[in-house]
A and B are shown apart, each in its own frame.
Chain A
Amino acid sequence: MEELLRLKDVTQLFPLKKKNVVVLDKISFSVHEGEFVSLVGPSGCGKSTLLRIIAGLVKPSSGSILFRNKEIHGINLHVSIVFQTFGLLPWLDVTENITLGLEARGVSLKERLRKAFKYIDLVGLEGFEEAYPRELSGGMKQRVGIARALVMEPELLLMDEPFSALDAFTAQNLREEILRLWSSGKLSLKSIIMVTHNIEEAIYLSDRIIVLSTHPGRVIGDIHIPMARPRDRDSVEFTKLYDKIYSMVVMAKI
């Protein structure tokens, strides 16, 4: 499969008390088409910052981001983000929240609505088109968050702890939903990168897990998950992978 994204020596410094703190230290890895990659690491390892750098929302102190072999400066229009806290505008209804980004790109009303209804249908929000965020449960809000990202028809979807603000069952339900969408072939998506602190979730969903250390954030592991889906959390293979990654994350804190 073709390479979609490449990070080359991405380094991020934050000035703190006249001294520069290294948050991300020479992060390099590639993501290929068809890959679901998770970034796992202890809190404070800069994984959310890394996601924002990939989206072009934050400029790294040094290093480069290549998308389809072209260096990216500024916001990458082939990328969309799903946020942990949904990021919906309370004064807009579901349809308006989903189409906001298209409006900003100058897409006509007719086309905006056509696309909105396509993704409303795909993520199971039919019936909620006119609801306002305050009327929605966390799970439904995140469905809006996902539809809003997908409607931009990105090639790369970034998800920042997308399920960690949800209760256990709702999170489970949405994980299944993401896998179902991902394997449906109905999306423009080529790859997904998800940030999570939940190792079980990462193994359940991803093809590859990149483990980051903290202070500074460095790539300390790049693990291929060869298991077929749906994955059995109680299987020996799953448990072995869990133990392996768990001990890497624990070591990464020390």
Chain B
Amino acid sequence: MDDVAPLPDVEIGEIIGMLEYLKEEGGKTDIYEIADDLNLEIDDLVPIIKAAELLGFANVENGDLILTKLGEELVNGDENKRKILFKESLKKLPVFKKVLDILLSSQEHSIDKHELLSMLKQEMPEDEANTTLRSLINFGRYAELIGYNPEDKEIYLDKIMEE
């Protein structure tokens, strides 16, 4: 199994909002200046930056946050374009790869949420497993890659098969 790194506990809107801000600043700005400008604690900013880096939308270099080509494409894109770029980036993350493998190989292309959580707990500490599951569902729903039915607590494959 690949090294399954936890997902940061952030929202899609925070990531995209930060990228939009970054674009307005000309695509590059000092991380401390962002915090200062928006009255944010660095501790709150770091997970959002990490998520953007993980997805390939921004890079950190010498204390600057820099918008990547992909990040720029995302900011300039419409909602559908954004979802597609998100989807492509998510599919490259080990933790998503793993979940998609599980879903593809299971009979109904679905898995019980608690079952997935205990699998994640074997890879990472418990609270990170919890936030990773939350972000998995959130990011997956946004990218229309996976769905989650809160009624029967099943995580299921959404639209990966169409390509």
Contacts and interface: CB of A to CB of B under 8 A. Distances in A.
Interface of A: 93, 121-122, 124, 126-128, 130-132, 135, 137-140, 166-174, 176, 180, 232-233
Interface in B2-26: 11-18, 20-21, 24
Interface residues of B, number: 33
Contacts of A137: 11-13, 138
A126 to B, nearest CB: 6
The B contact surface, by secondary structure, is: helix
B43 to A, nearest CB: 13
A140 B82 CA distance: 16
B16 A173 contact: yes
Contact of B142 (A127, A170, A176): A127
Contacts of A93: 150
Which of A126, A127, A233 counts the most chain B CB atoms within 10 A? Answer: A127
Contact of B17 (A124, A128, A135, A171): A171
Contacts of B20: 172-173, 176
B107 interface: no
A170 B79 contact: no
Nearest to B158: A127
List the 7 shortest-distance A-B pairs measured between CB atoms, nearest first.
A169-B17, A139-B13, A173-B17, A127-B141, A170-B13, A137-B11, A172-B17
B40 A168 contact: yes
